[in-house]
């Protein structure tokens, strides 16, 4: 399944509500949630879903919970915790309802899950998520490979999901993630007009936001800026997140191009874990640690403690020994004398 995510381009999304103490391993950590922190960009962590679905081994429920604890302790404000899909297709996601319940203990944390259809959406609603993301592929070939539905059929699913939401849980947000927006390893070129049309159609069908995903890692910065500008011209503030892959080393550059086009929400995966199992060769999500460092070094507040974020790699490494973990910032360390923007101006 594809990934996507998350909020629009408001520059201050976050007002944390409480101080919580959690146990991570044997060390209690203070967790700052949404009522004291103002941010300029929102980094949405998708590793527990997009990362783990691409790993052959299945992380235990307890290990997932420990990882999420560490992410929240670092100041992550939005997490895609899993997907409501058939466990036969993705056994790694079989415990998503349990993970949702665990994540809901943190006031102010936005708990998201991916759903491919109305059945999955019902499960997500029952579990109590705050937001669902729906993969809607701009490539017809990828849509059939990923969710076994045409683009029009996926638009119909959005309408069904919106109706369920309106009837049962009107507070839940729906984002249509326009996957393969910048090219497809199956189909090849994806026309920009098709992407803009699909983003508009998804909003008309009932989605609150439409974001763009470089599912296959084929995007370049000029293309990213151009296409996000086109989508924003069509749907305005309903333009959603940028979900970039680092397959060809352009992940951070593409995020910066999206920022220049007005995007303020970015998907990333701790240690660069993940990709798309239904897009051949689509390896490598943007590394959360590197993306956070880039924005903080630019003077843009993420609300994230970089050192604590790097430490959040430990439960991941312990749960998946031998799994490659990526990231230039964790390998190099923070520069001498570096002070993050969040530390300088994160308190209102």
Q: What is residue 148's DSSP assignment? A: S
Tokens in use for 328?
A: 């230039």
Q: Which of 85, 71, 6, 111 lies closest to 273, judged by CA?
A: 71
313 within 8 A of 271, measured Cβ to Cβ: yes
CB atoms within 10 A of CB 334: 16
Query: What phi and psi, each to the nearest 5 degrees, are found at residue 172?
Result: -70, 135
Annotated active-site residue 276? The verdict is yes
What distance in Å separates the CA atoms of residue 37 and residue 242, rounded to the nearest whole number? 22
- The b-or-e profile of 59-72 (16+ CB within 10 A means b, else e) is beeebbbbbbbbbb
Q: Among the options 114, 184, 207, 276, which is catalytic? A: 276
285 within 8 A of 50, measured Cβ to Cβ: yes
Tokens in use for 200?
A: 């508009």
Query: What phi and psi, each to the nearest 5 degrees, are found at residue 339?
Result: -125, 120
Rounded to 5°, angle at Cα 15 from 28 and 293: 70
261 within 8 A of 229, measured Cβ to Cβ: yes
What distance in Å separates the CA atoms of residue 169 and residue 153, rounded to the nearest whole number? 23
The residues annotated with a catalytic role in the active site are: 276
């Amino acid at each position: 399944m594809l990934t996507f995510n998350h909020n629009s381009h408001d520059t201050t999304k976050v007002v944390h509500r409480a101080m919580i103490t959690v146990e991570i391993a044997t060390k209690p950590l203070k967790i700052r949630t949404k009522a004291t922190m103002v941010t300029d960009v929102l980094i949405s962590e998708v590793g527990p879903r997009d990362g783990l679905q691409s790993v052959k081994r299945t992380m235990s429920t307890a290990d997932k919970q420990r990882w999420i604890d560490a992410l929240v302790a670092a100041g992550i404000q939005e997490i895609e915790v899993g997907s409501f899909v058939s466990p036969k297709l993705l056994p790694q996601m079989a415990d998503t309802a349990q993970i949702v319940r665990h994540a809901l203990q943190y006031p102010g944390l936005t708990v998201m899950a991916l759903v491919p259809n109305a059945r999955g959406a019902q499960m997500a609603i029952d579990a109590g998520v705050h937001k669902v993301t729906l993969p809607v592929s701009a490539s017809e070939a990828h849509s059939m490979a990923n969710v076994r539905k045409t683009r029009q059929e996926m638009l119909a699913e959005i309408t069904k999901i919106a109706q369920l939401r309106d009837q049962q849980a009107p507070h839940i947000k729906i984002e249509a993630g326009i996957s393969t927006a910048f090219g497809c390893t199956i189909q090849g070129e994806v026309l920009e007009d098709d992407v803009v049309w699909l983003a508009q159609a998804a909003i008309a069908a009932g989605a609150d936001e439409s974001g763009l995903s470089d599912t296959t890692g084929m995007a370049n910065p000029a293309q990213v800026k151009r296409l996000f500008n086109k989508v924003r011209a069509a749907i305005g503030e309903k333009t959603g997140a940028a979900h970039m892959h680092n397959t060809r080393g352009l992940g951070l550059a593409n995020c910066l191009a999206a920022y220049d086009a007005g995007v303020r929400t970015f998907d990333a995966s701790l240690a660069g874990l993940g990709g798309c199992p239904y897009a051949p060769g689509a390896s490598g999500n943007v590394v959360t640690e590197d993306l956070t460092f880039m924005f903080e070094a630019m003077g843009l507040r993420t609300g994230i403690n970089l050192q604590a974020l790097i430490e959040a790699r430990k439960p991941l490494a312990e749960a998946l020994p031998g799994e490659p973990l990526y990231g230039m910032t964790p390998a190099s360390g923070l520069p001498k004398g570096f002070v993050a923007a969040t530390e300088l101006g994160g308190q209102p």
